[in-house]
Structures are given as structure tokens and as C-alpha cells.
């Protein structure tokens, strides 16, 4: 007889820019997102997901690495505009 998998309920609050990284990490770890809701009046989203316990080890580190802000990576705070990469003849 198979035992059911144990899962954690994961709730994440993050800005829209981090959603891609969050979904990427959850997918890599067999997470199942069941709710995504924008918080009115803020730039934040609430994401609720089920994450298998066995896939949860190192989850917070992977999440931080995937969604870390530009300042922490030593990049400019603002995204570089496309015009800076175009030829200026």
C-alpha cells in the first residue's frame, strides 16, 4: 500500500518581477500553485502552493537565488534601456 506524500502549504508574498523566478523554482520542485492573488493598492502578489516535503530541502535558498534583487547581484537598480545597446551612428 502506497503512503500519500506529505506536503507543505507554502505562502509567498512577492512583487510582480519575482513571479517568474518563483514559478520556476516551484516547478523544479514539483510544487503545485493553487492560488495567485494581487494585493490591491500594492505591487505585491500572494502565491499559495503545495510543496512536497521531500522536495523542500534547500527551497528557501533556491528561491532567494532565483528572485534576488538586482542590487544584491551588483547590477544597476534600474534595467538598462534597449537604446544603450543600439549602434549610435
- Residue 2, classed as helix, strand or coil, is coil
Structure confidence at residue 71 (pLDDT):
55
Host domain of residue 23: 7-67
Structure confidence at residue 64 (pLDDT):
85
32 within a domain of the structure (yes/no): yes
CATH number of the domain to which 41 belongs: 3.30.70.240
| Total domain count, the chain | 1
Residue 85 phi, psi dihedral angles, 5° rounding: -100, -10
More confident residue, 73 or 13: 13
Side-chain-facing half-sphere of 14: CA atoms under 13 Å: 20
29 within a domain of the structure (yes/no): yes
- pLDDT one-digit tens code per residue, 32-86: 999 999 999 888 999 999 999 998 899 988 888 888 775 555 556 566 666 666 6
Amino acid at each position: 500500500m502506497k503512503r500519500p506524500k506529505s506536503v507543505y502549504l507554502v505562502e509567498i508574498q512577492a512583487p510582480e518581477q519575482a513571479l517568474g523566478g518563483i514559478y520556476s523554482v516551484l516547478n523544479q520542485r514539483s510544487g503545485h500553485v493553487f492560488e495567485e492573488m494581487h494585493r490591491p493598492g500594492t505591487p505585491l502578489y500572494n502565491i499559495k502552493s503545495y510543496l512536497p516535503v521531500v522536495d523542500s530541502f534547500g527551497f528557501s535558498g533556491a528561491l532567494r537565488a532565483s528572485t534576488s534583487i538586482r542590487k544584491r547581484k551588483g547590477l544597476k537598480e534600474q534595467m538598462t534601456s534597449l537604446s544603450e545597446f543600439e549602434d549610435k551612428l
